[in-house]
Amino acid sequence: MLIVKTIQEFMNAKSDLGRKDTLGFVPTMGYLHDGHIELVKRARKENKFVVASIFVNPTQFGENEDLSSYPRDFSRDKKLLEQHECDILFYPSAKEMYPSVQPMETFVVPGKTAERLEGQLRPGHFRGVTTIVSKLLNIVGPTTTYLGQKDGQQVAVIKKLVSDLNFSTKIVVVPTVREPDGLALSSRNTYLTSVQRKKAPYLYSSLLEAFSLYKKGETNTNILKESIIKHLKNDEEIRVDYISVADSNSLEELDIASKGSMISAAIWLGNTRLIDNIILD
Ligand code: AMP
């Protein structure tokens, strides 16, 4: 696996690719787990070349968020990507992506899809995401970009970005990879204390409870949301940021749930924020 730290080096490496070779791209912030690896495996299966990126993007973190403490383990990430036959790892510095000399003036501002849920609670977050994803797509030029359903709103925002700004990549969404107890894998799970770790699966089980009501015929979203709140209230350490039943593309809140709606929630367990979602089928 080639490790490339500058945009120029990446361009040079890419010039070896044939014009018709397919390139699968997996953008990440590192501290890789089986969720990320699932995206790499899928990219490996479907493309001649696989590129992964590791970049903890400062512009998508709010002022009081965990940019400086975000977990990092480059040598482990490198080994994992090598094991899964990634061809190129793009690992730029913050200065490479956001030069301090002639600093960037142009940013990508997403619309309504990004203003709800995560966007409402984390102002500027998706502007950071759409800006860095646009830069990475321009540098990497992938045939297909692999994203995780774990970040359901991010999927919707990036799909809209790609269609609005005519990026030529296809988007493939990979189902959420979970621990045996249902907790969605996340680099941030490492922040949880052992007691909090035991409580963390309540998030997914609360979504499953709403899902099972829906399967029994309940489509009133207030009732579905109430069942989630009731479930989460069983533990007093859990603080709810939001519970939502929304259209999975526009993220518009719904009164009536139907096939394709996304039930999502964000909670705090101590200082750790967890998000998860289920798409109704
Ligand atoms: P991150 O490093 O958290 O920015 O995630 C990089 C990519 O991996 C994003 O497309 C995430 O949605 C995806 N991802 C993160 N966790 C999971 C998971 N548990 N299952 C599937 N995909 C995931």
Ligand 1 proximity of 56 Cβ (cutoff 6 Å): no
Q: Distance of alpha carbon 47 from its chain centroid, rounded?
A: 21
| Dist CA 203 CA 113 (whole Å) | 23
Is the domain of 204 the same as that of 170?
Answer: no
The residue out of 174, 201, 216 marking a domain boundary is: 174
Q: What amino acid positions are annotated as catalytic residues? A: 36
The residue out of 115, 148, 174 marking a domain boundary is: 174
pTM over 0.85: yes
Averages of pLDDT over each 10 residues, the chain, 281 residues: 98 88 98 98 98 98 96 98 98 97 97 98 98 98 98 98 98 98 98 98 98 98 98 94 98 98 98 97 88
How high is the pLDDT of residue 198? 97
Residue 180, domain member (yes or no): no
| Dist CA 203 CA 257 (whole Å) | 19
The residue out of 119, 147, 174 marking a domain boundary is: 174
When divided into structural domains, the chain yields a total of: 2
Ligand 1 proximity of 158 Cβ (cutoff 6 Å): no
- Tell how many helices (H) and how many strands (E) occur in the chain: 10, 9
| Dist CA 179 CA 144 (whole Å) | 27
Is the domain of 15 the same as that of 82?
Answer: yes
Pocket test for ligand 1, best of 25, 26, 28 (most atoms within 8 A of CB): 28
Residue 130, domain member (yes or no): yes
What would the DSSP string read from start to end of 229-277? HHHHTTSTTEEEEEEEEEETTT--B-SB--TTEEEEEEEEETTEEEEEE
Residue 94, domain member (yes or no): yes
Ligand 1 proximity of 192 Cβ (cutoff 6 Å): no
